[in-house]
Amino acid sequence: MESKPKNLELLGLNLNQLQDVAVENSEPAFRGRQLHKWIYEKGICDLQDITVLPKSWRNLLIQKGFTVGHLHEIKRLIAKDKTIKLLLKTNDGETIETVGIPSRNRLTICISSQIGCSMGCQFCATGKDGLRRSLKASEIVSQFFAIKEAFDRRPSHVVFMGMGEPLLNIESVLSSIYCLNKDLGIGQRRITLSTVGVKNTLPKLAELALNYLGTVQFTLALSLHAPNQNLREALIPTAKSYPLNTLLDDCRHYLDITGRRVSFEYILLGDVNDNNEHAEELADLVGGFQSHVNLIAYNPIDGEDFQRPSLKRVQNFMNVLEKRGIAVSLRTSRGLDKNAACGQLRRIHL
């Protein structure tokens, strides 16, 4: 019996890999270049539509189980500010969310790296139902095309801040970064990978990123969310096994290996981690890094106790950091309509 190819989705494969697919399937390497052009430049979803290829070869690939690998959109929410959240269905019937956030000069796509999440952060809807599985590189890259189609415009920036913890899916995430960068032309500096921190993974990320990409220029954003270990453990259960000191040491090591500073994310939860003392503590913690701190005002989800912080508290928090010489910005909340927080749309469709 003929054995099936290991990777049936062509999306996520680079030029060399597509050339290999061509040669392994009895065609010259230039067929791989044609596949590459039609999949990435033209955004073709169906192998049958790659009309530059001989029909008999298209049929052969389809017979063998090859697909381009696009996910299917099953639900679309459009916020008043034109942010679009899509619910996409995978081939095995799972669902993931992806979000497009437009502004005049950019279209940012907030990408999911897993179906669900095992980290269980207290303030996050995605973590409520645990992890189903990690996404393949093709499923990650497919989100780019889904958002491109929804906006009829190319995404310019990518943030891995959707469902899942990217450092629990490092290889697929790095493959997809390679593809977004080299095959789809998004500069690495326009890509941000956000992590809440997973023990023993930052050194591996640094090493593999250098191997995969040659140079590391994407931004690694560490979601701190608390200025001390106790509060962090209360908000992020997995922080118990990964003390803040070790985590920050790993960030220094990451800088040594890759030459890229880690930036910090901090979600402001009303009356939980948003007072001036917290801001002072945070400044003590990250002051030596000369890194940027991104503040995010919490986006409330149904059935959660957490509140959005008041504007005054947010402003005070920023003022404290600025006075301490920390570069800080407040990320504008987008798509604050119903079910807009990460993981909410998927939850109501489970």
**What positions carry a catalytic annotation?**
97, 342
Taking residue 154's Cβ as centre, other Cβ atoms within 10 Å add up to 15
Distance, in Å, from the CA atom of 283 to the CA atom of 261, rounded to the nearest integer, reads 16
Q: Which residues bind ligand SF4 (CB under 6 A)?
A: 117, 119-121, 124, 126-127, 163-165, 196
Nearer to ligand SF4, 120 or 243 (CB): 120
The amino acid occupying position 300 is P
Q: Min. distance of Cβ 158 from ligand SF4 in angstroms?
A: 16
Under DSSP, the state recorded for 9 is B
Q: Which helix (H) or strand (E) holds 216?
A: none
Nearer to ligand SF4, 123 or 218 (CB): 123
Q: Min. distance of Cβ 321 from ligand SF4 in angstroms?
A: 22
Nearer to ligand SF4, 19 or 143 (CB): 143
Q: Min. distance of Cβ 123 from ligand SF4 in angstroms?
A: 7
Nearer to ligand SF4, 69 or 127 (CB): 127
- Return the closest-CA partner of residue 163 out of 196, 186, 204: 196
User: How far is C-alpha 252 from the chain's CA centre?
Assistant: 22
Structure tokens at 110: 């907030």
φ/ψ of residue 67, rounded to 5: -135, 165
- SS3 for 70? coil
Q: Min. distance of Cβ 126 from ligand SF4 in angstroms?
A: 4
Residue whose CB is nearest to ligand SF4 in the complex, by number: 127
> What is the DSSP annotation of 262-279?
EEEEEEE-TTTS-SHHHH
Nearer to ligand SF4, 131 or 286 (CB): 131
Q: Min. distance of Cβ 292 from ligand SF4 in angstroms?
A: 19
Angle between helices 276-286 and 311-323 (to 10 degrees): 40
Nearer to ligand SF4, 19 or 194 (CB): 194
Q: Min. distance of Cβ 238 from ligand SF4 in angstroms?
A: 8
- Return the closest-CA partner of residue 333 out of 296, 280, 302: 296
Q: Min. distance of Cβ 285 from ligand SF4 in angstroms?
A: 19
Structure tokens at 77: 């929410």
- Return the closest-CA partner of residue 254 out of 193, 180, 307: 193
Quickly list H helices, the chain.
15-24, 30-36, 55-63, 137-151, 170-178, 202-213, 229-235, 244-258, 276-286, 311-323, 344-348
Nearer to ligand SF4, 131 or 320 (CB): 131
